[in-house]
Structure 1
Amino acid sequence: MNKKVSPIVLKVLLITILVLIGLGTVFSGLIGGGILQVMKKTPDIDPENIKYEMSENSTIVDKDGNEIDSIRTSENREIVDFKQMPEHLKHAFIAVEDERFLKHNGIDPISIIGSAIQNFKSGSIVRGGSTLTQQLARNTYLSNDQTYERKIKEIYLALKIEQYLSKDEILEAYMNRVFLGQNSFGVQAASKTYFSKDVSELTIAEAAAIAGIVQSPTEYALFKAVPTSEVTDERIFGEFSIDGQKYSAVYNEKPFERQKYVLSKMLEEGYISDSEYKEALSEDVASNIKPPEDKSPLMASYFNTLLEKQVVKKLQETLNIGERQAWDKLYYGGLKITTTVDNDMQSKLEDVYENFSESILGNTQGWGSAPLLDLRYDNWGNIVKNDGTLIYYAKSNVMNDNNDFTISSDEAYYDENSNLIINSNKISLNNTNLVFKDYYSLDDKNSNLRTHKTGFVKFPSNENIRENQDGSILISASYLKNHNDFVWQNESGSFSFNKEYYDTDLEGVIQPQSSTVVIDQKNGEVKAIMGGRDQKGQKILNRAIDQPRQPGSSVKPLATYTAALDHGYNLATGIDDVPFMKNENGEIWPENVYRSYKGIVSLRDSLVYSVNTNAVRTLKDIGIDTSKKYLKNFGLIKENGDDNFVTKEEDSQKNDENLAAMGLGAMTKGQSVLDMTAAYAALANNGEYIEPLTFSKIEDNQGNIIFDEKDKKKNKVTSPETAYQMTSALMSAGKNYGTINLYGTDYATKTGTSDNNIDFWCIGYTPYYTVGVWMGSDNQNISLNSYSTDRTALMWGVINNRILHDYKQASFEEPSGIIHAKVDTISGKLPTQASYADPRNTVKDEIFSKDNLPTEQDDVHVWILVDTRNNLLASNKTPKNLQANRAFIDRKGSYDPSKWNGILPEDWKYSIPQKYSDLGYVEPKPKDDNKSNNAKKQDDKNQNNLENKDGQNQDEKQQNKQNLEGENQKNNN
């Protein structure tokens, strides 16, 4: 270990050095106090950890500490022990990057002053003068920004690192971390990328070539990655694919000139002998280059994909470090992460998705193609929108039997100069990229659609390819001559493009897709997750977290009705389902899915029947700002902005602070399945939101606890009583679907559908778990058919029946503060005699808290004197014996049909009549004594019933009053 430098000496040394730099550069604004301010903003690190952070992979363990998986990285990096690195490789790096490495204390004043003079002459930073220690500090904790502030931080960190680590430890960490081109991080990855050998087997010449890359990994990489379409007669070492484009590993001359310089520096510093130098110079390193064959990427589970992202964010929050450092710590810091996954539940969920069609459709024989999708085809079998706009070509229309992209003879021709002219909707030009359109196929059972990406060809320049004024595409004759296998004309006259020039996803992605999240609402633990179905041989897309979609009506309990119950509403409050708004085009908005209006409906039934007008009307009443507060507590709006909700501050023109987005779920970006499921879990958890995490503990490689689940973020959204009222309403909604049966276990659910049937949701909970399910196509131009609504709810039931198979029947526990009382479900108030007279039986048992228990009597039902012959208002012409008091709804002038195209809600006949009866006196028929006696008996019976109901009503009002007084007394005690 080096002799430690005291902090005071450290600061003095740093300032002195920077003052020296300032002699040759424009540094006056940062000298002295300015430097100290920059130092204060430098990441707080423990250099001692550097030697551990790059030493081992992180592992995932279960709750008992048993290792079940390890973290794998997409970066090409492999940690090797310092002893495994050959001495001549270490010496190559020291010689070319930091010749005084073994002598200085982290910074090299001679090198710094030299670079400062050079920078001053050029007027910008052209030479860094960084030591290996400084480079390690930058690679570990900082960005590559060319600023003086970053340089100060770099020097400060380098001095701190040298206090704690030996030179060997610093060099080991550096050589395992340094970027060496072609996605290779560290010397082991570089050795395998360029030579397909272990680092310990590198020759002196090969070691010098690798060390020479550091100065410019792009310029000095030992081979160039060139699009295959651009390769002519270059020397090629191998081929590989990146995001749909085929690349070739092509000989690069520059690094071998650099290699000679590295060897001369090694000789100069005495690291190799003259004979070794000459032997290395004579070695043909280029002939040794052997890129590794493409490997199929490891298909990480959806659960682990989410776990990795969440761990990185938690490391950033807890340790106050940058994202780059957090990823390094995850991949190579030897962390022990205790996962929350329930392997048995995850397996059952995967099994449901493995048998997706059978699980939710059963036998699909005879159903036709893709029975869950609402597809439109043109005359050639291509999938199109309603307006005829193309979405996907049929495979047979764009691919030949050899899977080469093919266009007809009418879509291309050779001009008089042998240029190829393409005039086809199947191919487009993006800058110099020739893009082939995507296509679809149907699986063997014809029950699933598969969508395929076809890729593109990158051309060297506009000289090779361009767009003509008429919109056609020209590929030059010179390019075609140099790439004579790129395209050919078939005997039929059609043209085929060689698939070796682009990357086509022949497997395809099955549609519709779906995702599911399961959360234990009691502690916020994510127990199982599926981010898609039947994905093979492609970059995995985790739709549960990475593909937010519009939640539709599933947002109503969160953004509207929970807040309403806390702000003057109860489950029986009547909300009038009638037109009340118009959009910017003057059209009545919103519409209900049933294309009509029910009239006054209780809040409970508004949720059960998903009444759009009532959701918007209620949201408008409680206010957008109130709703936002609830969405924040539900975790859908986050303080740090790391969410999918678009605020006015983020976008003043197109945002989610409006009635359509918050009331009906028509959100700009949408919401993720994870966030929506976690929000519902708060309702299941007595109104308390708990941060949904895939892990319960993170420990470093020394056993120190970085994070424990007791430190999870929690928000109180609402009271247990309000949460239970919402649960009760969601239980009614769930039973209304008719496709869910959990055989005695309580469940509360809500479905959601976005415009044009693009997205279908079903989210809900049992006393055990909260489950969110989404279904839809990746391409949002494709709609699902209306049958899919029931299928999504059915799938929710299928999943719950599978994961709860061995669980006992369970019911939701009612909080002690819940009050049961009879209420009129039109007014939401205490029933009167007029309430009971409503023929629809609007008086029902309902639940309340002390805060929304009604104390006033129903004032919506009123007695009105009518003509019994036509139910119109009794006039002075109406005989007394034909007049009667009947109960009607008094809308208090809140709706005037004449202002809304004469639209009448379904309950309009129960409203107070608007006209007087014009029927006059009619001569009575001769009396029939038997009929007269019967009528009199019926009238007496009706009067007794009214008196009995009135007496019952008085008793119930007294009982409700006693309940409320008792509740108040209990609270006072």
Structure 2
Amino acid sequence: MNSKTGTASSRTQKSSKKKRAHKPSKVILSTFRMFIFFAVTFSIIVGGILSGMALAYVKTAEDLTADQLMLKGFTTRVYDCNGNEIMALQGDKNREMVDFKDIPQDLKDAFVSIEDKRFYEHPGIDIKRITGAVINFFKPGASSYGGSTITQQVIKNLTGNEERSVKRKVQEWRLALGLERKLSKDQILEIYMNLIYMGQNCYGVQAASQTYFNKDVSELTLAECASLAGITNWPGRYDPFTEKGKENNIARQRVILKEMLDQGYITQTEYNSALNEELKFADSNKRTSEYVSNQPYFIDQVVKDVKRDLMTMGYSEELAIRTIYNNGLQIYTTMDSNIQKAMDEIFKDEKYFTKVNKKTSQTPQAAMVIIDPNGYVRALYGGSGEKIGAPLNRASDSQVQRQPGSTFKPIAIYGPAINERRVTAATIVDDAPVYMMGADKSAYPTNFDYAYGGLTTVRNGIKRSVNVVAAKVWQEILGPDLSLEYLDRVNINRDNERYLSLAMGGLYKGVNPLQMAAAYVPFVSKGLYYEPITYTKVLDMKGNVLLEKKPQSTIVYDEAAAYIMVDMMRSVVRESGGTAVGLGQLQNGKMPSAGKTGTTSDNYDKWFVGFSPYYVGAVWYGYDHNASISSAESSRALQIWHDVMEKVHENLEPIQFTEPQGIVKKDICIYSGKVATDLCSHDPRGSAVRNELFIKGTEPSDDDVCDVHVRAQVCKASTDANGNSLLAGDYCPHESVEEKIFIRRPVPYVPTKAGEKAPSDLKYELPEGEYCNIHGPSMEQTPSDIPNTPDEKPYDRTLWIDFLDELDQTLPRVFRRDD
């Protein structure tokens, strides 16, 4: 073989081997190059897509509105008239706004150290934290890693967007960057600390501090700050109100304190001191009962009144309610907590509502309102027993329409009539049967005892609650027009109820205790009606005045008329025959009081509206569905009034009702209304003389003396069918004659119908023309025995016959010639 040939062959073989050796590497290289090409191409495409998506996400991200930046869900605080907090009103969130300056620096540092250590350095998003979160996501078995900054958490809470998606995260980054350009770090941190959920329905650090430590956030110690800051990460796990949660909370507190030390927020000494401090958490049971308790009746009315006034400002009803329960308002009410407590104690005492009425299976109910003379509602209770749920507020709800009975008389009849000078306290009305529904009808109105007293003063008409007197004054003296006008003045509009029953409180549309208490306020406030109010001002959470309320006054009576009415209603509670004697008095009579009872038809409602110089109180007692009140419970309205007001006045000094100028006093006769005479003091029923009050100019003149009382001689031996002595005749023996005091009615009583009940004073009337029918000249006497005439002329038979004829005409029942 040729050497060259061999050499060539050898080269060929080597070259072939070399080619074979390089072929796999070329394939790999080509494949790699293609992979890189496609990877780059894919990355560019994907990157372009992702960039496009991200850009689209960014473009579609809506900027935060001013409304979103306004925090909501703040707890509203309600205060009594002395500025003491009485209740927190919460909607779906318990949140209280706190200014950044009032938050302890330790609490701010605790949150930053554990939630976002680079908070003061990043522009709203933390690239290092995001990268760590992404890497951590791809590590097998790694736990989740939070990548959200404090700014991002603010965005998430403000928008309420909890969606787990790339889109939401990208938009959140964009909004976070934008928020950092609008607000300072402190402003963002302030929003965050008022916004975050802290467990137990608490939102923000103030509500959490009050809940877990029962103190204002500004009072927290370093140890407590670290404990509080740890809750927000996992509220259910770190809730200190559970045994396990308390252990977890303390463990996390120590982690936070270590972070604060390592990051230079606290010193070693502060760290050691905080570790050694024992955490004293609030009583969870007490806190729970406080916040889930039923809203008191008084607060129900306050919310209703604030809602109404917000709506007059243009709020919708829904917005007004949301504002009250979620906007962190401060509502200052007129409630006096001591007075409300006294009322609560009585209304929660079962003895006042023990079921004794066998006519119904219902639970007895009652309601009460107390107002001061300036129109401020001081206490209110809307039903018997403990308030459960949201029952009807019988004290003030407009749906409550109970008949007021005779408590209506002072405001519908007597107050107006006194003020118009149509009547005085001494005006006489004949309490006798009347037929105001027509002569063909039964007597109407009748009195509660179906009896009639006869001649009665207006004062006694009020004292004994005489329906006939009230009806006659309303219809014959005052007139319905004036009555309705005066009712309008006390904000009780009944212009479409021009019927007689209104005079006795028989209304088509009833009233509630709040209306009645307010209607009586003019009697103790110099004649002024004040619109009753339950709050004085409402502040927003920044302390700006949102609403302000002052009682608006209306003149109802002049001062003198109001005082006369007060004095007449004092007779109701302190004079014999008054319908509220005893229970209508306070401090055993030392504290001046006055008022009026009320009972409606069929005993469905019992009322007492009474007052002292300090307060007016109105009580209603009855059943939600009309049922007659039994005799055993007939005085419960008055008893409740007395027992509540007795507590209210327990430590108050007795003061008198202020007598204004223009009041004069005069001794009058209570059966004529005129100046009393000696005869009046000898009335057979007792002295009829009273030192009465008058508005100057309405008193009787000195020469307008009583003409009702008369003196006459009667014969004890001669009586009428009722046993009353007849007038003595000329022939009644001296021993049978006595002198008596009678009354002579200005208008004689004449029965309208047979068998009607006559007034009880009829037996004291002078028996005009009814002389003794027993004694007279003896028929056995002869003319010669007849005494001569005074001029001693001899007996003349003609004169005797003429005398007997005259006697027949003038004294027909004493002696008749043909007897």
Whether TM exceeds 0.5 here: the answer is yes
Q: Aligned-pair distance for 1:721?
A: 1.6
Contact in 1 for aligned 2:679/2:710 (Cα 8 Å): yes
Equivalent position amino acid for 1:335 in 2: L
Change (3 A) 1:917 1:687: same
Q: Which residue of 1 aligns with 2:303?
A: 308
Contact in 1 for aligned 2:593/2:612 (Cα 8 Å): yes
**1:415-455 Cα deviation digits (max 9, x unpaired):** xxxxxxxxxxxxxxxxxxxxxxxxx5xxxxxxxxxx5xxxx
Equivalent position amino acid for 2:592 in 1: D
Change (3 A) 1:82 1:913: farther
Q: Which residue of 2 aligns with 1:583?
A: 437
Q: Aligned-pair distance for 1:62?
A: 3.6
Change (3 A) 1:837 1:328: same
Contact in 1 for aligned 2:76/2:88 (Cα 8 Å): yes
Can you give the 5+ residue segments of structure 1 that lack an aligned partner in the other structure?
1-46, 96-101, 103-166, 169-187, 199-295, 365-369, 377-382, 384-439, 441-450, 452-510, 638-644, 649-655, 925-973
Contact in 1 for aligned 2:519/2:529 (Cα 8 Å): yes
**1:516-551 Cα deviation digits (max 9, x unpaired):** 111111x21111111112246543221101223111
Superposition pairs for residues 303-702 of structure 1, below 5 Å? Answer: 303-317=298-312, 319=313, 321-357=315-351, 360=352, 370-371=355-356, 373=357, 375-376=358-359, 451=362, 511-521=363-373, 523-535=374-386, 537-546=388-397, 547-566=400-419, 567-583=421-437, 586-620=441-475, 621-637=477-493, 645=494, 647-648=495-496, 656-660=497-501, 662-702=502-542
Contact in 2 for aligned 1:826/1:860 (Cα 8 Å): no
Q: Aligned-pair distance for 1:601?
A: 1.2
- Could you tell me how far apart the structure 1 residues matched to 2:557 and 2:708 are? 32
Equivalent position amino acid for 1:340 in 2: T
- Higher relative strand content: 1
Change (3 A) 1:631 1:72: farther
SS at match of 2:572: helix
Q: Aligned-pair distance for 1:830?
A: 1.9
Q: Which residue of 2 aligns with 1:754?
A: 600
SS at match of 1:847: strand
Contact in 1 for aligned 2:521/2:529 (Cα 8 Å): yes
Q: Which residue of 2 aligns with 1:60?
A: 78
Q: Give the root-mean-square deviation of aligned CA atoms.
A: 4.1
**1:449-492 Cα deviation digits (max 9, x unpaired):** xx5xxxxxxxxxxxxxxxxxxxxxxxxxxxxxxxxxxxxxxxxx
**1:591-647 Cα deviation digits (max 9, x unpaired):** 21112111111111111111111111111120111111211222222xxxxxxx4x4
Q: Which residue of 2 aligns with 1:805?
A: 650
Superposition pairs for residues 948-963 of structure 1, below 5 Å? Answer: none
Change (3 A) 1:91 1:829: farther
- Could you tell me how far apart the structure 2 residues matched to 1:602 and 1:50 are? 71
- Could you tell me how far apart the structure 1 residues matched to 2:498 and 2:95 are? 45
Contact in 1 for aligned 2:730/2:776 (Cα 8 Å): no
Equivalent position amino acid for 2:339 in 1: M
Change (3 A) 1:658 1:88: same
Equivalent position amino acid for 1:698 in 2: V
The answer to whether structure 1 residue 857 and structure 2 residue 701 are counterparts is: no
Q: Which residue of 2 aligns with 1:84?
A: 157
Q: Aligned-pair distance for 1:904?
A: 1.3
- Could you tell me how far apart the structure 2 residues matched to 1:666 and 1:805 are? 35
- Could you tell me how far apart the structure 1 residues matched to 2:161 and 2:67 are? 27
Equivalent position amino acid for 1:734 in 2: V
Pair member with larger Rg: 2
Equivalent position amino acid for 1:344 in 2: N
- Higher relative helix content: 2
- Could you tell me how far apart the structure 2 residues matched to 1:846 and 1:685 are? 22
Identity of aligned residues (%): 29
Q: Which residue of 1 aligns with 2:798?
A: none
Can you give the 5+ residue segments of structure 2 that lack an aligned partner in the other structure?
1-64, 98-152, 169-174, 176-181, 184-195, 204-290, 719-724, 779-819
Q: 1:731 aligns with which of 562, 565, 570?
A: 570
Equivalent position amino acid for 1:84 in 2: N
Contact in 2 for aligned 1:548/1:673 (Cα 8 Å): no
- Could you tell me how far apart the structure 2 residues matched to 1:541 and 1:917 are? 67
Equivalent position amino acid for 1:830 in 2: V
**1:292-312 Cα deviation digits (max 9, x unpaired):** xxxx98521001001111122
The answer to whether structure 1 residue 891 and structure 2 residue 745 are counterparts is: yes
Q: 2:545 aligns with which of 705, 708, 713?
A: 705
Change (3 A) 1:887 1:707: farther
- Could you tell me how far apart the structure 1 residues matched to 2:72 and 2:404 are? 42
Contact in 1 for aligned 2:431/2:453 (Cα 8 Å): yes
Q: Aligned-pair distance for 1:326?
A: 3.5
Q: Which residue of 2 aligns with 1:399?
A: none
Superposition pairs for residues 94-105 of structure 1, below 5 Å? Answer: none
**1:783-826 Cα deviation digits (max 9, x unpaired):** 21123232321221111111222222333222233222111212
The answer to whether structure 1 residue 71 and structure 2 residue 89 are counterparts is: yes
The answer to whether structure 1 residue 770 and structure 2 residue 621 are counterparts is: no
Contact in 1 for aligned 2:91/2:326 (Cα 8 Å): no
Contact in 2 for aligned 1:739/1:797 (Cα 8 Å): no
Q: Aligned-pair distance for 1:906?
A: 0.5
Q: Which residue of 1 aligns with 2:270?
A: none
Superposition pairs for residues 93-132 of structure 1, below 5 Å? Answer: none
- Could you tell me how far apart the structure 2 residues matched to 1:539 and 1:636 are? 26
Change (3 A) 1:774 1:895: same
Q: Which residue of 2 aligns with 1:408?
A: none
Q: Aligned-pair distance for 1:71?
A: 2.9
Q: Aligned-pair distance for 1:857?
A: 1.2
Contact in 1 for aligned 2:710/2:744 (Cα 8 Å): no
Q: Normalization by structure 2: what TM-score?
A: 0.57
Q: Which residue of 2 aligns with 1:742?
A: 586
Contact in 2 for aligned 1:354/1:533 (Cα 8 Å): yes
SS at match of 1:783: coil
- Could you tell me how far apart the structure 2 residues matched to 1:630 and 1:90 are? 64
- Could you tell me how far apart the structure 1 residues matched to 2:560 and 2:163 are? 68
Q: Normalization by structure 1: what TM-score?
A: 0.49
Change (3 A) 1:915 1:707: farther
Q: Aligned-pair distance for 1:852?
A: 2.5
Change (3 A) 1:862 1:757: closer
Q: Aligned-pair distance for 1:67?
A: 3.8
Equivalent position amino acid for 1:528 in 2: A
Contact in 2 for aligned 1:558/1:679 (Cα 8 Å): yes
Change (3 A) 1:796 1:65: closer
Contact in 2 for aligned 1:524/1:691 (Cα 8 Å): yes
**1:946-965 Cα deviation digits (max 9, x unpaired):** xxxxxxxxxxxxxxxxxxxx
Equivalent position amino acid for 2:481 in 1: D
Equivalent position amino acid for 1:516 in 2: M
Q: Aligned-pair distance for 1:884?
A: 8.8
Q: Aligned-pair distance for 1:898?
A: 4.4
- Could you tell me how far apart the structure 1 residues matched to 2:609 and 2:92 are? 33
Equivalent position amino acid for 1:533 in 2: S
Change (3 A) 1:760 1:605: same
Contact in 2 for aligned 1:575/1:603 (Cα 8 Å): yes
